[in-house]
Amino acid sequence: MSHERIVILDLGSQYTQLIARRIRELGVYSEILRFDTPAARLRELAPKGLVLSGGPASVYEHGAPRVDPGVFDLGVPVLGICYGLQLMVEATGGKVTAAVAREYGRTACRVDPTSPLFAAVPQDTTVWMSHGDVVQAVDGRFRAIASTSTTPFAAVVHAERPLYGVQFHPEVVHSTHGRQLLAGFVRGVCGCTSDWVMSSFVDEAVAAIRARVGERGVVVCGLSGGVDSAVVALLLDRAIGPRLRCIFVDNGLLRLGEAQEVEAAFRPRLGDRLQVIHAGERFLARLAGVTDPEVKRKRIGHEFVAVFKDAAAGVADAHFLAQGTLYPDVIESVSATGGPSVTIKTHHNVGGLPAELGFELVEPLRQLFKDEVRRLGEELGLEPHLIWRQPFPGPGLAVRVLGEVTPARLELVRRADAIVREELAQDPIHPTIWQGFAVLLPIQSVGVMGDARTYESTCVLRVVESQDGMTADWVRVPHETLARISTRITNEVRGINRVVLDITSKPPGTIEWE
């Protein structure tokens, strides 16, 4: 089924994906295309509206990215954001210069309440600015519909055509009525009716899987314990039921109780269509004596492929492999400089399964963002603890045991990690946490317990907030919670006598320690 869609032309903004997510939150399907997508191609796609993203370039720079001028003649409403606004104005005869006073951060803005863009925005609002260039003059065809103390053209509209532009960023939460503005554009200006909802996506995805798989054999699906592969499995179960086989590899590097939880959730649904492979010993044998983080990752990856390959080879009539590839992994993005170089990210959810496995791929989540996958999981009746599970790296606890991974050291970090997660789950700050876990360091230090000297391991608390894992900040966990975590770990985990807190953001640190 085809949906009403808004196309976003990506001019290199760090916020492009956020624009797409915000529009989808309004129930309107949006997709991101390269800035140089020809107008003729856009005409074929018949979007209800176009958004030109921001970007790091200046329109008056040589080689700055430009859209096909034909996009302004399609008769389709356009919303230019920041650089997108400047580009639109410049392309239609206006003038952009470097701003005398640059604007960054929250800025008071007065809007024209008669514009459909601002139908649900108060006349005085706060917007998020981040620009060094400014529209200095527009030819008579554009007029200002919002201004700030330093920017007379904070928002503009074309006199005859449905071309709108905003200098600020409505997609970021710091623009207090950004959501209402985007709603004003996609509903008020473009006339979208919000037909993108996960309940109808289920039926469409099921139909699409059936059409793709037909009668051509069995689909093998690797379950990882994460939400993406779980949702893929549930969709496939609905679509092709008896011809689904799920393989769950317990690599011995999972969190406390995790393998049991996955089996408890899926065994009742799948019966003997679920194969659980306990391969912990194989993985640990490959990790013996290894301390280098990259060697650890590679060995775990190779072992995973070997184990999975063996298991898949035992599945009669296997023809397809299901993967939980998400939309951010398939967007063709432009480089940060806005140049034409293309990066197509490929991503394999379950440990990086190579093409050599020789299966055709089924990727039913390719259109979705993570938050949509979670909503889909709810729709399909997946248990909340599986839906809201925090991200967990493929190499598992092995990259949270610095130094050699031994069964004893794994057990230390596994038990400390369980305490960290249990305590954080009870703290009011829990919803703000992206990941909170323990890392075991390869050092021992002196302590005292009772009257005895101890010489035991140190563990680190790593608690971060993040939107997507690309950048992160450490969470200011209340001292009382930190105290409880520290006391419980040192009391309950024999072998750890010291707990320290990681207060490094990303960058410069990464979230995981290896």
- Which residues contact ligand XMP by CB under 6 A? 391, 393-395, 435, 469, 506, 510-512
Identify which of residues 242 and 508 has a Cβ nearer to ligand XMP in the complex.
508
User: Which residue number, 43 or 506, has a Cβ lying nearer to ligand XMP?
Assistant: 506
Complex with ligand XMP: residue 184 or 225, whichever CB lies closer: 225
* Per-position DSSP letters for 168-212, written without gaps between them: S-TTSTTSTTHHHHHHIIIIIIT-------HHHHHHHHHHHHHHH
**Least distance (Å) from ligand XMP to the CB of residue 395?**
5
The catalytically annotated residue of 3, 4, 158, 171 is 171
CA-CA distance, 395 to 302, in Å (whole number)?
11
Q: State how beta strands 78-81 and 95-111 pair.
A: unpaired
Cβ proximity to ligand XMP, 150 vs 291, nearer residue: 291
Specify the residue for token string 């953001």. Answer: 505
Give the DSSP per-residue string, 99-149: EEEEEEEEEEEEE-TTSGGGTTS-SEEEEEEEEEEEEEE--TTEEEEEE-S
Q: Compare residues 129 and 511 and give the one whose CB is closer to ligand XMP.
A: 511
Nearer to ligand XMP, 192 or 433 (CB): 433
Q: Which long-range contacts (CB under 8 A, 24 or more apart) does 30-34 make?
A: 30/5, 30/6, 31/5, 31/6, 31/7, 31/367, 32/7, 32/8, 32/331, 32/333, 33/7, 33/8, 33/9, 33/332, 34/9, 34/10, 34/332, 34/334, 34/342
Residue 68 or 228: the one with the smaller Cβ distance to ligand XMP is 228
Q: How far is the CB of 347 from ligand XMP (least distance, A)?
A: 8
Question: Measured between alpha carbons, how far is 289 from 108 in angstroms, rounded to an integer?
Answer: 59
CB of 334 to ligand XMP, least distance (A): 22
DSSP 8-state secondary structure symbol assigned to residue 279: -
Asked if 474 and 505 touch (Cβ cutoff 8 Å), the reply is yes
CB of 262 to ligand XMP, least distance (A): 16
Nearer to ligand XMP, 161 or 389 (CB): 389
Say if strands 318-322 and 332-334 run parallel, antiparallel, or are unpaired. Answer: unpaired
CB of 324 to ligand XMP, least distance (A): 10
C-alpha–C-alpha distance, residues 257 and 22, integer Å: 36
Residue 82 is among the residues annotated as catalytic for this protein:
yes
Nearer to ligand XMP, 417 or 512 (CB): 512
What is 283-315 written as a DSSP string?
A: HHHHHTT---HHHHHHHHHHHHHHHHHHHHHTS
One-letter-per-residue 3-state SS of 71-92: HHHCCCCEEEECHHHHHHHHHC
Q: Shortest distance, CB of residue 514 to ligand XMP, whole angstroms?
A: 8
The least CB distance from residue 293 to ligand XMP, in Å, is 10
**Two tokens at 438?**
């323990």
Evaluate whether 240 touches 377 at the Cβ level (below 8 Å): no
In degrees and rounded to multiples of 5, residue 249 shows phi and psi of -95, 115
Q: Among 187, 185, 188, which Cα is nearest to 51's?
A: 185
| Closer residue to ligand XMP (CB): 273 or 400 | 400
- Is 171 one of the annotated active-site residues of the chain? yes
Determine the Cα angle at 462 with ends 465 and 369, to 5°. 35
Active-site position among 82, 192, 221, 246: 82
* Gap between the Cα atoms of 500 and 509, Å rounded: 16
DSSP secondary structure letters along 426-461 = TSTTGGG-SEEEEEEEEEEEEEEETTEEEEEEEEEE
Contact 6, 18 (CB under 8 A): no
Do residues 141 and 162 touch, judged by C-beta distance below 8 A? no
For residue 227, the minimal CB distance to ligand XMP (Å) is: 12
Candidates 169, 177, 180; CA nearest to 116 is 180
Q: Minimal distance in Å, beta carbon 223 to ligand XMP? A: 14
The nearest distance, CB 394 to ligand XMP, in angstroms, is 4
Is 261 catalytic? The answer is no
Q: Of 169, 177, 303, 459, which residue is the catalytic one?
A: 169
Place of tokens 């053209």: 153
**Residues tagged active-site:** 82, 169, 171
